[in-house]
């Protein structure tokens, strides 16, 4: 029962990691951009959530109504104003620029919010739990996992059943020919980044309810997101969920053996899967 | 005298330091079918890429419907009703046949072409509509590329080497379909290696040689010697 509990908790944690990863995966899939500042954007979203909740007294989940569109707008402006200029045949400029962005966001957050750890108050949601077949499951982790499934399903549906998704795939396939179809790739990329940061907003707020956060933790969230994406296979959103779950389970199992091993065992699972399946478990986009 | 739909004046094109087009002048009238011939590397595809905005041009070099489009982006030009069947087809591999056609309609122009009319022109595409476009034969892929361009309901359509790499019987099918495509007052530029094919479907012909127009004439009066001189540069 103990071990079953560990695995279930790890699975639910995987939902949060999948939310960290989904935006990364989307952006890489559409424009081959590896966004080093992704983790810091998650933390930025958590702070935006904090600001909204403390200014308005809204519940953090209701604050999403403001945080998601705000992050979306930031994403579009960031892409049109900065990141589009870095895209080309060379992979290095976007890496360098998003690395710089990461540093800027961290320092900006330090200035505005200081280095003190913060947390969002979600009332009873933080501690509520359900007893299911002898297991005691937190409502927040369950909710996070459910949100991850809905978000990934929604992204997948957008990709394969809407004109926007068709445009994403066309631009990803061949930018020149997509332009000939009347698609302005700079705009499409902006919309993709807006969508990715909308998901990031959800991830950041859920993170900020679950644990305390400070401006320095973005790097760790980026690594978890990356690992989930790579384990699942690049360009496959459901694979990203599987990757998040594997990472989460590896971490909780490691922590069960020795609390100090949580993070390490996640990295080891990642390296192990990379060694046996260099392209991840489910590579390529699947319909 | 029909109005000119496309006027090209002193068009130059470069790839880095390499100049691929030198002062090209060309005109297409409304409803006219123009052929562009020339050997490999003469600059035909470059000319198509300049017209469609995939290469950047100097100001005033290309006018479409009397408007300077030289500095516009490819998507802005496409929306004005200029579409292209690119060399090598270049379908979107992540899109099904139907989606490849649908994306052609993204520019949102009204006109005779729709999924139904494209399927009527090429019935095989309706049977294959849910397949990945890359799973089709070369000829069927070319039909998708043509259908995709038509879905934009263009005023001017560019065909870059539609018969390249296809079996003769398929080429015949596609050329048989052309009159049905280029009716309805549409203008067309056909880039073709097969000179007699090019002359048979066009009213006027231009020959490019090393980035320059080496011949301009009426398709049914131009002489074979003039063409081979313009084509190969043999004096
Ligand atoms: N992307 C490119 N970069 C550099 N040179 C190119 C490129 N594309 C074409 N060229 C050169 O430009 C010239 C014209 O090419 P192109 O327009 O493709 O000729 P055509 O279509 O008539 O065969 C050729 O000398 C070719 O080598
Ligand atoms: Mg060519």
Give strand pairing partners of A129.
Answer: A138
Q: Are the CB atoms for B24 and B212 separated by under 8 Å? A: yes
User: CA B58 to CA B188: how far, in whole Å?
Assistant: 23
A177 contacts B92? CB cut-off 8 A:
yes
Any ligand 1 atom below 6 A from CB of B49: no
First to last CA, chain A: 37
Any ligand 1 atom below 6 A from CB of B154: no
Cα-based torsion angle of the residue sequence B118, B119, B125, B130 in order, rounded to the nearest 10 degrees: 100
User: CA A245 to CA A285: how far, in whole Å?
Assistant: 19
Q: Is residue A82 part of a domain?
A: yes
Q: Is residue A50 part of a domain?
A: yes
Percentages helix, strand, coil for chain A (3-state, rounded to 5) are 80, 5, 20
The list of chain B residues with pLDDT below 70 reads 1, 234-235
Give strand pairing partners of B64.
Answer: B6, B67
The beta strands (E) that lie in chain B are given as 4-15, 18-29, 33-37, 62-64, 67-68, 82-85, 156-160, 187-191, 204-209, 212-218
Joined tokens for residue A19: 């939310």
Q: Are the CB atoms for A205 and A122 separated by under 8 Å? A: no
* Contact residues, chain A, for B84 at CB < 8 Å: 180
Cα-based torsion angle of the residue sequence B90, B91, B93, B94 in order, rounded to the nearest 10 degrees: 130
Q: Are the CB atoms for A52 and A115 separated by under 8 Å? A: no
Q: Is residue A221 part of a domain?
A: yes
CA angle B13, B41, B179 (to 5 degrees): 90
Q: Is residue A1 part of a domain?
A: no
Which B positions 103-122 lie with beta carbon below 8 A of chain A? 103-104, 106-108
Task: Label residue B119 left, alpha or beta by phi (over 0 means left) and psi (-120 to 50 means alpha).
Answer: alpha
Quick: pLDDT tens for A130-187: 988 888 899 999 999 999 999 999 999 999 999 999 999 999 999 999 999 999 999 9
Which residue, by CA, sits nearest to atom 3 of ligand 1?
B15
Q: pTM of the entire structure? A: 0.93
Please give the pLDDT value at position B15.
95
Q: Is residue A140 part of a domain?
A: no
Residue burial B158-179, b: 16+ Cβ < 10 Å; e: rest: bbbbbbbebeeebbeebbeebe
Give strand pairing partners of B26.
Answer: B8
Please give the pLDDT value at position A286.
42
ipTM of the complex: 0.92
Please give the pLDDT value at position A152.
97
Share of chain A above pLDDT 70, in %: 98
Q: Are the CB atoms for B134 and B86 separated by under 8 Å? A: no
Quote the DSSP letter at residue B219: T
In order, the DSSP letters of B92-126 are -TTSBHHHHHHHHGGG---SS--HHHHHHHSHHHH
First to last CA, chain B: 35
Chain B touched by A180 (CB under 8 Å): yes
Rg of the Cα trace of chain A?
19
In order, the DSSP letters of A226-249 are HHHHHHH-TT-HHHHHHHHHHHHH
Q: Find the domain containing B33 and state its range.
A: 4-232
Please give the pLDDT value at position A279.
84
The CATH number linked to B216 is 3.40.50.300
Q: How many angstroms is it from B183 CA to the middle of ligand 1?
A: 31
Mean pLDDT of A3-19: 95
Which ligand ends up closest to the CA of B49? 1
Tell me the pLDDT of chain A averaged across its residues.
94
Please give the pLDDT value at position B234.
62
Q: Is residue A192 part of a domain?
A: yes
Q: Are the CB atoms for A216 and A106 separated by under 8 Å? A: yes
Q: Is residue A131 part of a domain?
A: no
Please give the pLDDT value at position B235.
54
Any ligand 1 atom below 6 A from CB of B42: yes
Joined tokens for residue B150: 């038509």
Mean pLDDT of A104-109: 98
Q: Find the domain containing A78 and state its range.
A: 7-124+146-276
Atom of ligand 1 nearest to the CA of B161: 21
Any ligand 1 atom below 6 A from CB of B38: yes
CA angle B156, B157, B160 (to 5 degrees): 145
Give the rounded distance of the alpha carbon of A81 from its chain centre.
22
Confidence check: pLDDT of A287 > 70: no
The total number of structural domains in chain B stands at: 1
Which residues, at least 6 apart from A189, have a Cβ–Cβ distance to it below 8 Å?
A30, A31, A79, A83, A84, A87, A171
The CATH number linked to A90 is 1.10.3470
* Contact residues, chain B, for A177 at CB < 8 Å: 86, 90, 92
């Amino acid at each position: 029962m103990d071990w079953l509990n560990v695995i279930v908790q790890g699975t639910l944690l995987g939902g949060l990691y999948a939310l960290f990863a989904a935006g990364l995966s989307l952006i890489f899939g559409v424009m081959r951009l590896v966004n080093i500042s992704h983790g810091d954007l998650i933390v930025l979203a958590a702070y935006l959530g904090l600001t909204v909740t403390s200014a308005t007294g809204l519940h953090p989940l209701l604050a999403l109504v403001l945080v998601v569109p705000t992050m979306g707008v930031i994403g579009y402006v960031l892409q049109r104003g900065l990141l589009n200029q870095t895209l080309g045949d060379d992979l290095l400029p976007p890496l360098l620029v998003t690395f710089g962005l990461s540093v800027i966001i961290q320092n900006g957050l330090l200035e505005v919010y200081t280095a003190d750890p913060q947390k969002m108050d979600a009332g009873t949601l933080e501690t509520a739990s359900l007893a299911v077949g002898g297991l005691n499951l937190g409502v927040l982790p369950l909710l996070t996992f459910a949100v991850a499934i809905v978000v990934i399903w929604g992204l997948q549906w957008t990709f394969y059943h809407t004109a926007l998704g068709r445009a994403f795939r066309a631009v990803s396939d061949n930018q020149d020919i997509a332009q000939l179809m009347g698609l302005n790739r700079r705009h499409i990329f902006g919309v993709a980044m807006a969508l990715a940061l909308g998901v990031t907003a959800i991830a950041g707020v859920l993170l900020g309810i679950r644990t305390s956060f400070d401006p320095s933790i973005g790097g760790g969230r980026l690594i978890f997101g990356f690992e989930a994406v790579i384990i699942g296979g690049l360009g496959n959103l459901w694979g990203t969920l599987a990757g998040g779950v594997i990472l989460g389970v590896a971490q909780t199992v490691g922590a069960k053996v020795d609390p100090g091993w949580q993070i390490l065992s996640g990295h080891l699972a990642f390296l192990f899967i990379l060694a046996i399946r260099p392209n991840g478990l489910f590579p390529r986009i699947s319909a | 005298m029909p109005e000119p739909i496309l006027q090209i004046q002193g068009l130059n094109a470069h790839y880095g330091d390499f100049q691929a087009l030198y002062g090209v002048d060309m005109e297409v009238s409304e409803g006219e079918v123009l052929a562009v011939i020339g050997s490999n590397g003469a600059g035909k595809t470059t000319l198509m890429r300049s017209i469609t905005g995939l290469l950047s041009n100097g100001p005033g070099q290309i006018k479409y419907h009397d408007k300077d489009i030289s500095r516009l982006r490819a998507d802005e030009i496409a929306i004005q009703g200029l579409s292209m069947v690119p060399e090598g087809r270049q379908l979107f591999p992540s899109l099904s046949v139907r989606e490849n056609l649908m994306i052609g309609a993204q520019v949102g122009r009204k006109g005779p072409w729709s999924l139904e009319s494209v399927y009527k022109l090429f019935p095989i595409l309706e049977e294959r509509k849910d397949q990945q476009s890359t799973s089709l034969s070369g000829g069927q892929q070319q039909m998708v590329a043509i259908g995709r361009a038509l879905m934009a309901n263009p005023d001017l359509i560019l065909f870059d080497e539609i018969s390249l790499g296809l079996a003769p019987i398929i080429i015949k099918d596609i050329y048989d379909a052309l009159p049905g495509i280029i009716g309805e007052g549409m203008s067309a530029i056909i880039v073709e290696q097969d000179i007699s094919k090019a002359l048979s479907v066009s009213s006027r012909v231009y020959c490019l040689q090393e980035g320059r127009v080496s011949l301009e004439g009426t398709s049914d009066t131009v002489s074979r010697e003039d063409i081979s001189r313009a084509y190969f540069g043999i004096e």
